[in-house]
């Protein structure tokens, strides 16, 4: 009876150990087939696409766009060139002959403002630096061939006030006053202008003077060289300049947001000016969100540059060559045309976040995007991505997009975190092994150690049982 009981106890122990081994085997199977929970729970599947959607800028006739909105604008007001870009990415959203060379006229003075802000950034002067009126500034202000204010000996202006005089009445004298702060003579300053244009990627721009007229009209205050030379540029190049100004020196918008100006109020030098940028706030063709930049008109027609922000999206617009000098209606028509294409651009596009930072599952791998990914996209676009594992870059599946010089297609960088179970299975099928994670390695060591301990226990129990049975048989024979 005792022998039977002992045998039953041992049998129960062995069966219990077998049950434990079966449970451990099931656990090991589940553990090795399920990805590490720390990644599996946090990684989302990234939407990929091998096919691309066309992102070419809109093209066509800006005049036709305006007339499609109910205007009846004559063909003579069709611009020589127009462009609309998004400021963060430099993406071109609208392009109408944007590389046709044209005279920027008084928009030339924006380069003087750019060089002035560069000097402020370098600590050479400040927005509050006071500049006295000199004799030659008074002579320039008296030149009837130029847009101006009345500069009088004894008056002085801050740099900020001079910028406003450039922005609204397009003062040539104010331009000369800033130029004299930055260069010893006009020829040196023109070289500075062209060097800056080259730096900004304005490849089809050449300046011969800072005012934007034929050299001969500047008289003795003009540069050396061809007296009948004029500045030339393109809509695309001036989008580069305006993007540079608004991006790097947003203070400029404080000086260009108003179409009208009272200069030196409450002093003997007080002057009142009405500007012609009719797309600015409070004007007859005010565009929603518009807050700068500048107009320019000369013998070859009427131009203007504008920036506007709606929500998180800011755009730059350049319109060149509307009609010819002397056609006063062109000052209005350019804004009706420009507002029409800008309205369409804001209706279609927006600058927004297309992907949040975090972990994503891509083609059997886990990647981690370090920063939120922003881009300029159509409002109805649902982001899909192209993943470049070699360079560890993500970009949208939008092709044929065009950008200003100095800009490139936006992308998001990522790090490779770990291979997912799908990739591991493929690797096994190919006869290739993948390195285990630290968690998997430690758990494997634990399981193997536990199994080994149980096997040792089984072996010990069986050996003790055999020894016990042998002793009993031995005593039985002796009995």
pLDDT digits (tens, 9 = 90+) for 207-218: 999 999 999 999
pLDDT at res. 434: 47
* pLDDT at position 40 over 50: no
pLDDT at res. 328: 87
CA distance 297 to 320: 9
* pLDDT at position 10 over 90: no
pLDDT at res. 29: 52
In the structure, what pLDDT confidence band is assigned to residue 424 with cuts at 50, 70 and 90? very low
pLDDT at res. 226: 96
CA distance 109 to 231: 11
Q: Whole-model pTM?
A: 0.81
Mean model confidence pLDDT for the chain: 88
Which range among 21-25, 152-156, 424-428 shows the weakest confidence by mean pLDDT?
A: 424-428
The whole-number average pLDDT for the span 98-102 is 98
The whole-number average pLDDT for the span 380-401 is 96
CA distance 402 to 58: 11
The larger pLDDT score, comparing residue 39 to residue 182, is at: 182
pLDDT at res. 299: 84
The whole-number average pLDDT for the span 377-404 is 97
The whole-number average pLDDT for the span 47-59 is 95
* pLDDT at position 116 over 60: yes
């Amino acid at each position: 009876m005792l022998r039977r009981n002992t045998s039953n106890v041992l049998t129960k122990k062995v069966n219990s150990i077998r049950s434990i081994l079966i449970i451990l085997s099931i656990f090991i199977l589940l553990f090795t087939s399920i990805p590490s929970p720390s990644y599996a729970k946090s990684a989302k599947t990234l939407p990929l696409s091998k096919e691309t959607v066309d992102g070419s800028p809109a093209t066509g006739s800006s005049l036709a766009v305006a007339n499609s909105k109910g205007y009846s604008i004559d063909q003579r007001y069709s611009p020589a060139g127009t462009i609309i870009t998004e400021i963060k990415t430099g993406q071109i959203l609208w392009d109408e002959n944007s590389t046709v060379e044209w005279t920027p006229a008084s928009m030339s003075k924006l380069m003087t403002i750019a060089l002035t802000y560069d000097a402020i950034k370098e600590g050479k002067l400040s927005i509050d630096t006071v500049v006295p009126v000199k004799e030659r500034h008074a002579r320039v202000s008296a030149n009837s061939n130029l847009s101006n204010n009345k500069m009088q000996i004894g008056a002085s202006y801050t740099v900020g006030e001079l910028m406003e005089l450039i922005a609204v009445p397009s003062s040539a004298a104010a331009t000369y006053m800033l130029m004299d702060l930055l260069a010893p003579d006009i020829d040196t300053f023109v070289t500075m202008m062209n060097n800056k244009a080259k730096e900004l990627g304005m490849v089809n721009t050449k300046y011969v003077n800072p005012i934007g007229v034929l050299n001969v009209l500047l008289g003795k205050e003009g540069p050396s060289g061809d007296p009948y030379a004029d500045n030339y540029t393109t809509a695309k190049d001036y989008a580069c300049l305006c993007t540079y100004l608004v991006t790097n020196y947003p203070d400029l918008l404080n000086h260009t947001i108003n179409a009208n100006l009272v200069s030196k109020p409450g002093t003997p030098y007080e002057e009142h000016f009405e500007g012609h940028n009719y797309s600015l706030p409070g004007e007859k063709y005010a565009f929603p969100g518009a807050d700068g930049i500048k107009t320019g008109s000369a013998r070859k027609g009427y131009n203007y540059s504008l920036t506007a922000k709606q929500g998180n999206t800011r755009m730059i617009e350049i319109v060149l060559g509307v009609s010819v000098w002397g056609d006063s209606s062109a000052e209005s028509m350019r804004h009706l045309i420009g507002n029409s294409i800008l309205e369409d651009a804001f209706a279609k596009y927006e600058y927004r976040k297309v992907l949040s930072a975090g972990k994503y599952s891509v083609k059997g791998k886990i990647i981690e995007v370090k920063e939120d990914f922003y881009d300029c996209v159509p409002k109805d676009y649902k982001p899909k991505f192209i993943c470049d594992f070699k360079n560890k870059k993500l970009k949208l599946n939008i092709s044929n997009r065009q950008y200003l010089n100095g800009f490139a297609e936006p992308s998001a960088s990522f790090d490779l975190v770990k291979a997912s179970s799908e990739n591991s299975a493929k690797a096994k099928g190919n006869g290739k092994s993948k390195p285990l994670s630290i968690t998997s390695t430690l758990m494997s060591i634990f399981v193997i150690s536990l199994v080994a301990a149980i096997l040792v226990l089984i072996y010990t129990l069986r050996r003790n049982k055999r020894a016990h049975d042998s002793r009993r048989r031995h005593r039985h024979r002796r009995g």
